[in-house]
């Protein structure tokens, strides 16, 4: 059901607030003062959610987007960047004020680049006649696709060029009926691009034809109806080599890794400045070591904690690659580690997924005795919740916002908590 509404302000998680039928209506992508056509997707007694379909009266801050599928990838595309940053700062300020934490938002740090910043692009693939076309999912749907033939302006020119070439080659090989997904990753500092093509079923094709496209490495996966992936073909190097804060890190194409490295390094600089030289640091949710390894250049000892075996193996390998003997990574869920891992830590760094900290992690932090907890979050809503729980032993006075994802509603926030 479509409705035309006028939006009032941006609230938590970057959604725009309007009122419809006596209810609060939340929609991702609209700006304050805009009027738009919205498709309702969820309705409760006091609130509803919708998906933005067409902006009929745009804000004066909104310019023309660069691509037709912008509502799928970056609904604030074309919005004046200073205004984007102001909205995100206001969103953080309102969130932490309503959370009764009395934390001031001291700064909203912008990204060095507002376009072309992503080192990872993911495309759906859709058939168009006998061809394969790059596409993205229509926001708010699981199956509807919108063509993105040229790629996406959030990614680099090299990734988009390779993406178009893979789609064209998949067309030539007769894969239109089975080609479903394409993942592209590029090293920001070394330039190589990796491509992984996923098929929805078996196919007979000369996959070696992809060799001529110039990728650093490429793989073709075949997914069963149950979702399991089988490697059909690969060549080259599927790991990505990156340099962060002077450290070389290797990570696999399917691993979580920061997608906007220049923006991430701005946050990392503030994290490293908090560390006391020569002390013990524990890096929870440590991944392949993007925070923990640079921290080892400052700290006396760093322990990385990560639930997945492969990132832990790579983190330890990355430590060797950089000649660091004071770093070690261990396999464990953050909520299941022994308190002994945290014993003696001066600083504990947490960078959890959007769900935030498990209550058991909060209990461990409270019991740890660590002088500081440095909390980098991709979801300030759950971060605020966790800081309220940690207030039993820790206090904080300020929040710093970071814009890792220009054009989108997402914002990162950094809070340093000190033991009272």
Are residue 128 and residue 196 in the same domain, yes or no?
yes
Distance CA 22, CA 118 (A): 40
Are residue 270 and residue 308 in the same domain, yes or no?
yes
Cβ-proximal residues to 194 (8 Å cutoff; 6+ apart), any chain: 184, 185, 186, 215, 216, 217, 218, 236, 237, 238, 239, 240, 253
Q: Residue 13 pLDDT more than 90?
A: no
Q: Tell me, what CATH number does 180's domain have? A: 2.40.50.1070
Are residue 248 and residue 219 in the same domain, yes or no?
no
Domain that holds residue 34: 2-60
- Dihedral over Cα of 389, 415, 375, 380: its sign: positive
The domain boundary residue, chosen from 196, 216, 238: 238
Are residue 203 and residue 264 in the same domain, yes or no?
no
> Which residues are known catalytic residues?
378
Distance CA 276, CA 267 (A): 17
Q: Do residues 88 and 76 make contact, with C-beta atoms less than 8 angstroms apart? A: no
Are residue 296 and residue 369 in the same domain, yes or no?
yes
When mean pLDDT is compared across 1-5, 248-252, 347-351, 379-383, the lowest value belongs to: 1-5
| Residue 101: predicted pLDDT | 86
Are residue 266 and residue 180 in the same domain, yes or no?
no
Are residue 137 and residue 265 in the same domain, yes or no?
no
Q: Do residues 250 and 313 make contact, with C-beta atoms less than 8 angstroms apart? A: no
Q: Tell me, what CATH number does 310's domain have? A: 3.40.50.150
Are residue 271 and residue 395 in the same domain, yes or no?
yes
Are residue 48 and residue 136 in the same domain, yes or no?
no
Task: Establish how many alpha carbons lie within 13 A of residue 24's alpha carbon, considering only the half-sphere containing its beta carbon.
Answer: 9
The domain boundary residue, chosen from 212, 238, 264: 238
Are residue 217 and residue 293 in the same domain, yes or no?
no
Place 142 in a pLDDT band, splitting at 50, 70 and 90.
confident
Residues 192-209: b if buried by 16+ CB within 10 A, e if exposed: bbbbbbbbbeebebebee
Q: Residue 349 pLDDT more than 80?
A: yes
Q: Residue 341 pLDDT more than 80?
A: yes
Whether 291 is in a domain gets the answer: yes
Q: Which residue(s) pair with 51 in the sheet?
A: 28, 39
| Residue 2: predicted pLDDT | 86
| Residue 14: predicted pLDDT | 85
Strand 412-419 with 372-377, pairing: antiparallel
Give per-residue pLDDT as tens, 37-55.
999 999 999 999 999 988 9
The domain boundary residue, chosen from 220, 238, 256: 238
Count of domains forming the chain: 3
Are residue 293 and residue 146 in the same domain, yes or no?
no
């Amino acid at each position: 059901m479509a409705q035309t509404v006028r939006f009032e302000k941006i609230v938590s998680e970057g959604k725009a607030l309007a009122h419809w039928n006596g209810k609060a209506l939340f929609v991702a992508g609209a700006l304050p003062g805009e009027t738009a056509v919205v498709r309702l997707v969820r309705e409760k007694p006091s609130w509803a959610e919708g998906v933005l379909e067409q902006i009929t009266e745009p804000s004066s801050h909104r310019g023309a987007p660069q691509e037709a599928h912008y509502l799928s990838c970056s609904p604030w595309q074309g919005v004046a960047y200073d205004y984007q940053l102001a909205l995100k700062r206001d969103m953080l300020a309102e969130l932490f004020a309503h959370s009764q934490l009395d934390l001031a938002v001291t700064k909203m740090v912008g990204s060095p680049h507002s376009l072309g910043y992503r080192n990872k692009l993911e495309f759906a693939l859709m058939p168009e006649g006998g061809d394969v076309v790059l596409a993205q999912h229509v926001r708010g749907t699981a199956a509807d696709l919108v063509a993105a033939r040229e790629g996406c302006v959030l990614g680099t020119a090299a990734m988009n060029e390779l993406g178009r070439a893979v789609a064209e080659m998949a067309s030539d090989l007769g894969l239109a009926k089975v080609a479903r997904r394409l993942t592209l990753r590029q090293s920001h500092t070394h330039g190589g691009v990796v491509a992984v093509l996923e098929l929805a079923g078996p196919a007979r094709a000369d996959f070696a034809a992809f060799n001529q496209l110039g990728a650093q490495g490429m793989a073709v996966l075949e997914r069963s109806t149950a979702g399991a992936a089988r490697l059909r073909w690969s060549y080259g190097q599927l790991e990505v080599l990156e340099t962060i804060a002077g450290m070389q890190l290797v990570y696999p194409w399917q691993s979580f890794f920061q997608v906007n490295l220049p923006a991430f390094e701005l946050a990392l600089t503030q994290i490293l400045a908090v560390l006391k030289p020569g002390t013990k640091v524990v890096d929870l949710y440590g991944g392949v070591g993007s925070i923990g390894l640079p921290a080892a250049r400052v700290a006396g000892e760093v322990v990385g904690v990560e639930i997945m075996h492969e990132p832990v193996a790579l983190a330890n390998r990355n430590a060797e690659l950089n000649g660091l003997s004071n770093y070690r990574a261990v396999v464990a869920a953050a909520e299941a580690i022994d308190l002994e891992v945290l014993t003696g830590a001066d600083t504990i760094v947490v960078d959890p997924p959007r769900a935030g900290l498990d209550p058991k992690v909060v209990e461990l932090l409270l019991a740890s005795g660590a002088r500081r907890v440095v909390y980098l979050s991709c979801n300030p809503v759950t971060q605020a919740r966790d800081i309220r729980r940690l207030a039993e032993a820790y206090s904080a006075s300020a929040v710093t916002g970071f814009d890792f994802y220009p054009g989108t509603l997402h914002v990162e926030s950094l809070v340093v908590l000190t033991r009272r």
